[in-house]
Structure 1
């Protein structure tokens, strides 16, 4: 009889332990609807985003400008390595150097023969046309081909993503979803319905909140990111409450369970 009573007490203690663990798990549950992208989107054919993407050159940008023509000798002067060099860090920590024209605080660059050129506020395509026309108008080259790329086009992805990172964009075009994918996607604890995009234009910082639970992002002007945009994913309440609750309650719960185990052990002896 005494043995049955002891086994019954141990079963009761084990049952109470499971109840406590189950309650802790319930407290950390996340609303599954808020963890899914575009949960309101059914099968459909969506029109392309017709909002024009206008990435303009700004002070402190680094531009790569290459000129070619039918006369390589005449062209050579426009491709002299007299440009400013920009240093950047690769993934493995090595320093890389890329030649490029640094746009000064006044929005200008110093270009061979043509001298100072105002580039700020122009897209790379508009600048390409401007330099091409200058070379032809001044009869410096015949049928010149000008290729311009922005070397420091990058976006930063921070917060509740698997790999917070700075994404370099050689193509000068990247969507919000691509940037998040390159950062390893939003974690289960990230708020997909309140993703923050910080964008600076003309000296003014703009903050936009994006709901990735909704398919409206496909028609948003923020679907495509611009150079130097910052994407920040906030942690949801489950993560914040869970980490706070765990740090406060875990030592108490463990102490209580240990104390309970000692009491039960002494009672059943």
Structure 2
């Protein structure tokens, strides 16, 4: 009876990317190439200059990202990075302001290298995006926000950072909230869909938010607990009334 009331979960509700064509001998191909992320205002970058003459390259390295990360973690690294201002400019020592909004990290790296070559010869510029974080909320084991130390991460990797979905999380209703230059986008993704990896939203972007809706069966189960408790209180009240009559 309890199972009927609460609609017991089945494998079809829990399994990801369900496809009967998947097998153990022949891989199933799915075409989907991630689009390179283009920098936006308020993104934070790590810019490091390397050369055979550290005393010269250190003029451009105000902060050492490696030592900052060792002592302060992601928050300290964030504070020590270079923030792109609202106008889309990155301000660097000696070089000055460079327009980088709309460029990829690689393009920004090349741009800084070109400008740095005017001052130093034989240097190498390394640019990394520091502000790639995703928030995962709802029906997961460890909700929170997580930093991604890679400029490419997909939906399943993002969910794995939060310990995967609980059984109460609805695999067919994962809301992805994405910030764009024009505002916010909201799309619902189905983890059971075999074509999930072909979705244009399969790859995450910095500041994405994932919210996993609760399963209806879980809501029914919680409601049943409340109803059972109320019935228990009512039954106790009726017994007491009959006893004291």
TM-score by length of structure 2 reads 0.84
Q: State the alpha-carbon separation in 2 of the partners of residues 149 and 95 from structure 1.
A: 13
Q: Count how many residue pairs are aligned between Structure 1 and Structure 2.
A: 233
Gaps of 5+ in 1: 1-22, 264-269
Q: State the alpha-carbon separation in 2 of the partners of residues 149 and 123 from structure 1.
A: 10
1:211 to 1:96, Cα distance in 2 relative to 1, 3 A: closer
Q: Which has the larger radius of gyration?
A: 1
Task: Give the counterpart of 2:45 among 39, 63, 82.
Answer: 63
Question: Counterpart in 1 of 2:103?
Answer: 122
Secondary structure of 1:196's partner? strand
Q: Superposition RMSD on alpha carbons, in Å?
A: 3.0
8 Å CA contact 1:195–1:212 kept in 2: the answer is yes
Secondary structure of 1:251's partner? helix
Question: Counterpart in 2 of 1:107?
Answer: 88
Secondary structure of 1:78's partner? coil
| Bigger mean CA offset, 72-81 vs 116-125 | 72-81
1:235 to 1:68, Cα distance in 2 relative to 1, 3 A: same
Q: State the alpha-carbon separation in 2 of the partners of residues 95 and 202 from structure 1.
A: 25
> What are the equivalent positions in structure 2 for 1:92-241 lying under 5 Å apart?
96-98=75-77, 99-136=80-117, 138=118, 140-241=119-220
Give yes or no for the alignment of 1:24 onto 2:2: yes
Q: State the alpha-carbon separation in 2 of the partners of residues 47 and 237 from structure 1.
A: 33
Question: Counterpart in 2 of 1:73?
Answer: 55
Q: Which has the higher helix share?
A: 1
8 Å CA contact 1:70–1:142 kept in 2: the answer is no
TM-score by length of structure 1 reads 0.77
Q: State the alpha-carbon separation in 2 of the partners of residues 95 and 171 from structure 1.
A: 13
Task: Give the counterpart of 1:53 among 35, 60, 79.
Answer: 35
